[in-house]
Chain A
Amino acid sequence: MSSNNFTYNEQSGGGEATELGQEATSTISPSGAFGLFSSDLKKNEDLKQMLESNKDSAKLDAMKRIVGMIAKGKNASELFPAVVKNVASKNIEIKKLVYVYLVRYAEEQQDLALLSISTFQRALKDPNQLIRASALRVLSSIRVPIIVPIMMLAIKEASADLSPYVRKNAAHAIQKLYSLDPEQKEMLIEVIEKLLKDKSTLVAGSVVMAFEEVCPDRIDLIHKNYRKLCNLLVDVEEWGQVVIIHMLTRYARTQFVSPWKEDDSLEDNEKNFYESDDEQKEKTDKRKKTYAMDPDHRLLIRNTKPLLQSRNAAVVMAVAQLYWHIAPKSETGIISKSLVRLLRSNREVQYIVLQNIATMSIQRKGMFEPYLKSFYVRSTDPTMIKTLKLEILTNLANEANISTLLREFQTYVKSQDKQFAAATIQTIGRCATNISEVTDTCLNGLVCLLSNRDEIVVAESVVVIKKLLQMQPVQHGEIIKHMAKLLDNITVPVARASILWLIGENCERVPKIAPDVLRKMAKSFTSEDDLVKLQILNLAAKLYLTNSKQTKLLTQYILNLGKYDQNYDIRDRTRFIRQLIVPNEKSGALSKYAKKIFLAQKPAPLLESPFKDRDHFQLGTLSHTLNAKASGYLELSNWPEVAPDPSVRNVEVIELAKEWTPAGKAKKENSAKKFYSESEEEEDSSDSSSDSESESGSESGEQGESGEEGDSSEDSSEDSSSGQESESGSESRVENKRTAKRNSKPKGKSDSKDGEKDNEKSKTSDSSNAESSSTEESSSDSESESDSESESESRRVTKEKEKKTKQDRIPLTKDVSLLDLDDFNPVSTPVVLPTPALSPSLIADLEGLNLSASSSVINERKALHPKLGTKGPPGDAAE
């Protein structure tokens, strides 16, 4: 990506410009009619007039038509001057459409685009956060190199904005600026560093995206934010989740030691995965006893698990690959169920998921074996899905299920989709080689297929049988004879070539048939496909060596034909063979060994899965799908032998303060500015009542997530007290508002996470104590607050609590990690839910299913239309 990408962009932009020009002319010229040409011109003239009119409606109309042109890919660049004038329009829809236009054409009309910049600069100071954000968006999307300094400044300011939405847009702008001018990297990294510290879930995904684009190698920026990211993850929007999970997977692979070694002995097919030489093994053995998972490692694995339940396939896949790449092998099993669930989705999702399952199923059959039937093929599946399913079925085949599978394959072979039928035959071949018990059965089945009416099926069977026979040095004379007979009917070149090769290889086993086949082939030589011709030559050579009496003349005839063939390959081969087998004075030592050369024992081909070598790509990536390194692919590193210092992730008060004290001048300014503006704006927000609700709400939410804000980000000793005071003040104000809003809510019911209300309550009070200790004044208030804290935030609240408890402890024992929580269980929890075959309670459940609708409290709608349904007494369930 980086610089290459940039230059490419430029090029493509330039190329596009010229091309658009061409296109524009071409759309006009081919019609040839002068009338059309002029009307086109007139139309634009007309648009210009509309844009210059005083009426908003006319302008809007014009803009809509222009956007329509852009959407169709027509060139509207000549309207640029007229459009850009409207950038300051009061009408928000016109403004938006002008933005759309600007972003599209600014690159081509850089000078004119500069006219609009001042408008954006003004909008960046607007009190409305939506306007600030969209101004930043458009400003950063205008790819005009001259304004790089302005963009940089705007990004810096926006990254300290009070509104998390604006900060999110700042994170997006970082990537845009970077692709426009990679020189700014250092400055941008500073902004990224600052935004990574942001506690808002809105920002997290976007800033990690920026991190991945700009400086994916600066893993050191993540350390301090690792735990925060893990804890925020559940609440981040789904697209951000995907990006963060991928980044954290990479992070984990560099920072933790492998959790796999302990269960090395359990897994039999793991060895090749490690490429373990003996030395390493010894080491492994030593470490086996001492391995204990880093609690941070555990934190990541534990916090991503709920995301397997996401409705977003990309998130599920991201978690699955995380488990695959960093979780202990014993815990990876839980992902299979979720992946199988994704198979119900659209064909494109199926395609990607099946590819990943195919790779996984090679290494670990056990994971997907229980779901074997989910991979059965339906006649309505698209061919690419069918072949992928087949691939997985092959990988999953073993002694126990092969008979069922073979029965299933029998139906597939008969499929009307012949491409699929051919793939099935190959599959049968692979099963036959992998599972020795069924080799003969498969072979017999394939021989039966030779009498199939469809040529493709027969051809494919021939090819597969050839491979199978090659693997088995046993006598299969009958089959070969049968195939020799087929030669009269089969026309598919590959199949013919295969039969000829097979006869050649086994010519001594079928001494009577082989010369006859050669005779027939000699007759039809000229009309054969090149592939077949080569094999005829081979067959002739082999027969000449073993049975020269009968075939000498035939061979010479064929060699003569080959000598004058149109294809140089065949001429070459003919010459080569002649020299080798027909001894003359010139021929060297080689011809003595001709027989050995031609009839050497050939190693049987390995029938392997095409997904065999894909595992070196990170699952779920584009590179994995393509089986080729896509540009910008970030290699997943191997586990380190020794874990790097885990303490770098500890977020401690002192260290953070140190971290925050500026190293460079710019930083100092930044931090100072940020601090200043924040406190100021906070006052603003509490003053201005109209806009403040959302903003201060978000602010408090943000604080909610981060009890530590007070001591982490702005801990410059003297200011902290006042800062905290004001903060807590505003917080409580907001909270009051909230409680007022929801006072109807019964107190005790508010929060029942894990169903342990009592426990929870005590925890709540604990945490509120903690809170009150820090903000000593509003103790009674805050207690009631935290009690009646909305359920909507229960997850978040508990998280906050977790953090708080942690912070309480940190001063006492410095090494206590974030994970030291009551709900954390250091023993690898049995993640696979044990589902007993039929537990008594389940039976009870099932018995309750007589569907008599007797005991249900809720009223069933009897009819389709909701309101026509028999209305039960409304709301009885709520009592």
Chain B
Amino acid sequence: MIHSLFLINSSGDIFLEKHWKSVVSRSVCDYFFEAQERATEAENVPPVIPTPHHYLLSVYRHKIFFVAVIQTEVPPLFVIEFLHRVVDTFQDYFGVCSEPVIKDNVVVVYEVLEEMLDNGFPLATESNILKELIKPPTILRTVVNTITGSTNVGDQLPTGQLSVVPWRRTGVKYTNNEAYFDVIEEIDAIIDKSGSTITAEIQGVIDACVKLTGMPDLTLSFMNPRLLDDVSFHPCVRFKRWESERTLSFIPADGSFRLLSYHVSAQNLVAIPVYVRHNISFRDSSSLGRFEITVGPKQTMGKTIEGVMVTSQMPKGVLNMSLTPSQGTHTFDPVTKMLSWDVGKINPQKLPSLKGTMSLQTGASKPDENPTINLQFKIQQLAISGLKVNRLDMYGEKYKPFKGIKYMTKAGKFQVRT
């Protein structure tokens, strides 16, 4: 399956290579560089590149290309999904996934990669198992290792590998038994010029952070499970139980994991919590354009909107912008033409606004289209779909865990066309 893996940074250096079968020369990456050149932008590099003898499948994350080399037919998503899993694992191990971090931890990276694939076929991708095989580096452990000479390679087969619940190891112990669930919903929306919604949908996830002793069996039920239209589960969730009772029954993985992601059915109208009033105009005659946007709350169920961030890709003709925000800070990068405005909290009494002028290239014709405005925001303690967790029960263990649930609504891909 997967023959080799090359990690390439944004300046085109191959800084790590790993082969699971015979060595494939790194010159194969030339085809990749060629494609990269043609694509001009990193995110336009095609994920699948055929070369005379190999196929290059790549993912681009954290400004690093992860290029897998394969030789024969294989479902492309198989490879792509695996590469993403590799990135997730690195992130899990080192906190961030960046070139310097990978270079600093090259041995651990190599050991992890060695365990993840055998002859190109995934062997262990569950991070629980990997962490037992190869312990993630911490400062404490590095110190201890240098003193005692112990290693961060486990010598026992992780129990998870063989059990029916590979995501959980046996013999977990905590002094504080706690289980936290974060219901996070993201609104994807396209709002048109006049402020009416073109398309809007809600995607949600429930992230769990479970630190419970032993082998607890949890049941999570919802007040209104019908809202969930399409769901995908962590492997621990019992599917049959969901089908019949619409409750989530599972033996949780240890630590943080994504329990569920869901999509709220499209029939329900999505409440859009913010609106943007905009007045952006270019004039043919003068080299100055007017720019004015105001952000305000709408249908927020009485909650405050925080972390508002407005970004917009201005047309090429815009040379500079002189703007004054009523609150927050703004920046305009004259090279990338990216305007961003960090608004912060929205005070409904005094709506934040950003006003000013744009200086345009003289002689250039006015742009056809006004820039699209991308919006980010957060609303705490609110799940915009109205999803509500009813109760969480634990079976199989005697102690009483502390349970908590948190709701949050965020903007996903939220665009306002102007």
Tell me the smallest distance from the CB of A228 to a CB of chain B, in Å: 17
Given the contacts A632-B73, A842-B226, A856-B223, A795 and B121 also touching, CB distance less than 8 Å: no
Residue numbers in A under 8 Å from B350 (CB-CB): none
**B402–A871 touching, CB < 8 Å:** yes
For the complex with contacts A310-B233, A346-B61, A376-B190, 4 further pairs of A-B residues with Cβ separation under 8 Å are A165-B157, A347-B47, A856-B390, A861-B180
Q: Which of the 9-residue segments B288-296, B339-347, B403-411 touches chain A?
A: B403-411
Q: How far is the CA of A164 from the CA of B157 in the complex (A)?
A: 12
A143-B22, A835-B267 as given contacts; A874 in contact with B400, CB under 8 Å: yes
Report Cα–Cα, A242/B188, bound state, in Å: 30
A620 proximity list for chain B (CB < 8 A)? 75-77
User: Measured between alpha carbons, how far is A176 from B135 in the docked complex, in Å?
Assistant: 28
Specify which of B83, B163, B392, B415 is in contact with A698 (CB 8 Å cutoff).
B163
Chain B residues with Cβ under 8 A from A104's Cβ? 19, 23
CB distance from A529 to the nearest CB of B (A): 22
By beta carbon, the residue of chain A nearest B203 is A344
Q: Are B190 and A73 in contact (CB under 8 A)?
A: no
The 3 closest A-B pairs by CB, nearest first: A875-B400, A849-B386, A632-B72
Chain B residues closer than 8 Å to A776, beta-carbon distance: none
Complex Cα distance, B81 from A798, in Å, reads: 31
Report how far A789 CA is from B235 CA in the complex, Å. 20
Which A814-869 residues have a C-beta within 8 angstroms of B?
835, 837-839, 841-842, 845-846, 848-849, 851, 855-862, 864, 866, 869
- In the complex, the answer to whether B235 meets A349 with C-beta atoms within 8 Å is no
Q: B208 within 8 Å of A by Cβ?
A: no
A631 interfacial by beta-carbon distance below 8 Å: yes
Query: Is the CB of A306 closer than 8 A to any CB of chain B?
Result: yes
- The answer to whether B215 touches A792 (Cβ under 8 A) is yes
> Please, how many angstroms separate the alpha-carbon atoms of A837 and B178 in the complex?
39
Q: A695 contacts which chain B residues (CB < 8 A)? A: 162
Q: How far, in whole Å, are A609 and B305 apart by their CA atoms in the complex?
A: 44
Q: Closest CB-CB distance, A31 to chain B, in whole Å?
A: 18
Encoded as 1 (CB less than 8 Å from any A CB) or 0, chain B from 46 to 86 comes to 11101001010011110000000011111111101111100
Cβ contact of A754, chosen from B41, B84, B244, B415, cutoff 8 A: B244
Inter-chain contacts of A694 with B (CB < 8 A): 157, 159, 162-163
Nearest-Cβ distance from residue B221 to partner chain A, whole angstroms: 10
Task: State whether B80 touches A453 (Cβ < 8 A).
Answer: no
* Among A184-192, A288-296, A408-416, A510-518, the stretch in contact with B: A408-416
Assembled-state Cα–Cα distance A379/B198 (Å) = 14
- B244 contacts A858, C-beta separation under 8 Å: no
* Nearest CB of A to B310, in Å: 14
- Of the candidates A97, A314, A317, A793, the one having the most CB atoms from chain B within 10 angstroms of its own CB is A314
Report chain A residues within 8 Å CB of B393. Answer: 877-878
Q: Can you name 23 A-B pairs with beta carbons within 8 Å?
A: A9-B22, A16-B24, A72-B16, A172-B121, A311-B232, A314-B75, A338-B230, A340-B230, A344-B188, A347-B60, A374-B201, A384-B44, A414-B369, A622-B55, A626-B50, A630-B50, A694-B162, A791-B251, A851-B388, A856-B223, A866-B178, A874-B400, A877-B403
CB–CB A866/B301 < 8 A: no
A347 to chain B: which residues have CB within 8 Å? Answer: 43, 47, 60
Report the separation of the CA atoms of residues A744 and B214 in the bound assembly, to the nearest whole angstrom.
12
Using a Cβ–Cβ cut-off of 8 Å, how many residues does chain A contribute to the interface with B?
161
A-contacting 9-mer, from B90-98, B111-119, B320-328, B354-362 = B111-119
Asked if B365 CB lies within 8 Å of chain A CBs, one says: yes
Is there contact, CB below 8 Å, between A130 and B240?
Answer: no
Other-chain contact of B157, A133, A352, A373 (Cβ < 8 Å): A133
One of A71, A130, A351, A869 near B106 (C-beta < 8 A): A71
With contact pairs A239-B121, A311-B232 given, residues A378 and B223 touching in the complex (Cβ less than 8 Å): no
Give the interface centre of A12, A92, A104, A453 by most chain B CB atoms within 10 Å. Answer: A12
Q: Is the interface of B mostly helix, strand, loop or mixed?
A: mixed
Check if A141 is an interface residue, CB within 8 A of chain B. yes
Q: Which residues of B contact A45 (CB under 8 A)?
A: none
CB within 8 Å of A: which B218-244 residues: 223-224, 226-227, 229-235, 238-241, 243-244
Most interface-central of A20, A630, A755 (chain B CB within 10 A): A630
Q: Are A744 and B398 in contact (CB under 8 A)?
A: yes
Inter-chain contacts of A749 with B (CB < 8 A): 395
Contact A306 B23 (CB under 8 A): no
CB distance from A423 to the nearest CB of B (A): 13
Other-chain residue from B26, B77, B109 in contact with A313 (beta carbon distance below 8 A): B77
CB-based nearest A residue for B24: A12
Asked if A235 is at the interface (CB within 8 A of a chain B CB), the reply is yes
Please state if B230 and A622 are interface contacts (CB–CB under 8 Å).
no
Pick the residue among A19, A632, A849, A866 that contacts B25 (CB under 8 A). Answer: A19
**Is B162 a contact partner of A697 (Cβ separation < 8 A)?**
yes
State whether B151 touches A68 (Cβ < 8 A): no
B400–A622 CB distance below 8 A: no
**For residue B161, which residues in chain A have a CB less than 8 angstroms away from its CB?**
165, 202
B131 within 8 Å of A (CB atoms) = no
A311 engages B395 (CB within 8 Å)? no
Bound-state CA distance A623–B50 (Å) is: 10
Q: Measured between C-beta atoms, what is the minimum distance from B381 to chain A in Å?
A: 7
A691 → chain B, closest Cβ, in Å?
9
Q: Which of A13, A100, A338, A625 contacts B76 (CB 8 A)?
A: A625
Closest B residue, CB atoms, query A837? B267
B17 within 8 A of A: yes
* Contact A628/B21 with A67-B110, A379-B415 known, Cβ cut-off 8 Å: no
CA distance A140 to B121 in the complex (A): 14
Residues of A contacting B: mostly: helix
Q: Please state if A796 and B58 are interface contacts (CB–CB under 8 Å).
A: no
Whether A564 sits at the interface, judged by CB under 8 Å, is: no
Q: Which B residues are closer than 8 A to A by beta carbons? A: 1, 14-19, 21-27, 41, 43-44, 46-48, 50, 53, 55, 58-61, 70-78, 80-84, 106-107, 109-111, 114, 118-119, 121-123, 125, 146, 149, 151-153, 155-157, 159, 161-166, 178, 180, 188, 190, 192, 198-199, 201, 203, 209, 215, 217, 223-224, 226-227, 229-235, 238-241, 243-245, 249, 251, 258, 261, 263, 265-268, 301, 313, 315-316, 365, 367-369, 371-372, 374, 380-382, 386, 388-398, 400-407, 413, 415, 417
A745 at the interface (CB under 8 A from B): yes
Known: A172-B118, A845-B224. A878 touches B217 (CB 8 A): no
Q: Which of A106-132 contact B (CB under 8 A)?
A: 107, 128-131
- B226 near A630 with CB under 8 A, answer no
Chain B residues near A5: list those with CB within 8 A.
71-72
A133 — which chain B residues lie within 8 A by C-beta? 157
Given the complex of chains A and B, what is the CA–CA distance between A420 and B352 in angstroms? Answer: 34
- Asked if A753 and B110 sit within 8 Å, CB to CB, the answer is no
> Are A858 and B405 in contact (CB-based, < 8 A)?
yes
Question: What A residues does B106 contact at CB under 8 A?
Answer: 67-68, 71
- How many angstroms between the C-alpha atoms of A621 and B400 in the bound complex? 49
Q: Nearest chain B CB to A559's CB is how many angstroms away?
A: 39
A309 to B188 Cα, complex, angstroms: 21
- A219 lies within 8 A of chain B by Cβ: no
A341 within 8 A of B: yes
Please give, as numbers and ranges, the residues of chain A lying within 8 Å of B81 by CB-CB distance.
312-314, 349
The smallest C-beta distance from B39 to any residue of chain A, in angstroms, reads: 8
Chain B residues closer than 8 Å to A380, beta-carbon distance: 374, 413, 415
Q: A622-B74, A742-B396 are in contact. Are A234 and B239 (CB under 8 A)?
A: yes
Given contacts A67-B110, A378-B415, contact A791 B159 (CB under 8 A): no
From A71, A141, A172, A453, residue with most partner B Cβ within 10 Å: A71
Query: Once the chains bind, are A866 and B180 in contact (CB under 8 Å)?
Result: yes
Q: Are A239 and B125 in contact (CB under 8 A)?
A: yes
Q: Choose one: B44, B107, B199, B232; the contact of A97 (CB below 8 Å).
A: B107
Residues of chain B within 8 A (CB-CB) of A466 are none
User: Beyond A92-B155, A380-B374, A860-B406, is A67–B107 a contact (Cβ under 8 Å)?
Assistant: yes
> Using a CB-CB cutoff of 8 Å, which residues 711-762 of chain A contact chain B?
741-742, 744-746, 749, 752-755
Residues of A within 8 A of B406 (CB): 860-861, 864, 869
What is the 8 Å Cβ interface bit string for chain A, positions 122-154, against chain B (1 contact, 0 not)? Answer: 000000111101000100110100000000000
